[in-house]
Amino acid sequence: MSSWSPEALVQKSQEAREQAYCPYSKFRVGAAVLASDGTVFTGCNVENACYTAGLCAERTAISKAVSEGHKSFKAIAIASDLEDRFISPCGACRQFMREFGSQWDVYMSKSDGSYKLMTVEELLPCSFGPDDLRANENHSTFDIKP
């Protein structure tokens, strides 16, 4: 992971968790995503009174990276206050991560800093991604075959 260790990435996600805005659920989540060039971007969950308008930590960190020109990632670490199990990304975040590839690492951690490693592909098997749309580039949705 370049000069970043999994433990250092988990630590950054724990630091990001401290910035969480979660007045409704009180469930703090932080994420730290490692871009392919070694840059780390952090994010936290940001809730909204209109619940569906909230944003998860993973999507915040990735969006922050993309907004600064990064679209290739090596790893992401996720932290929460859970003590008895590893924090896992929700389905929407799994699909969001998949947009940027299926072969990068996801470090799901507990509040004590221990972590479990999986890949995006392991978290979202048989996924739908950008390549699936490219496969139909040469076909019009209006083509009618006899």
Catalytic residue, candidates 58, 83, 121, 137: 58
Residue among 11, 4, 3 nearest 79 (CA): 11
Mark the binding-site residues for substrate, compressed into ranges: 45-51
Q: Are 100 and 113 in contact (CB under 8 A)?
A: no
Residue 58 annotated in active site: yes
Residue 12 amino acid letter: K
Q: Are 75 and 1 in contact (CB under 8 A)?
A: yes
Q: How many CB atoms lie within 10 A of CB 96?
A: 17
Mark the binding-site residues for Zn(2+), compressed into ranges: 56, 90, 93
Residue among 1, 90, 127 nearest 33 (CA): 1
Both structure tokens of 106: 């996801």
φ/ψ (deg, to 5) at 33: -110, 135
Residue among 8, 130, 1, 142 nearest 79 (CA): 8
Q: Would you name the residues annotated as active-site residues? A: 58
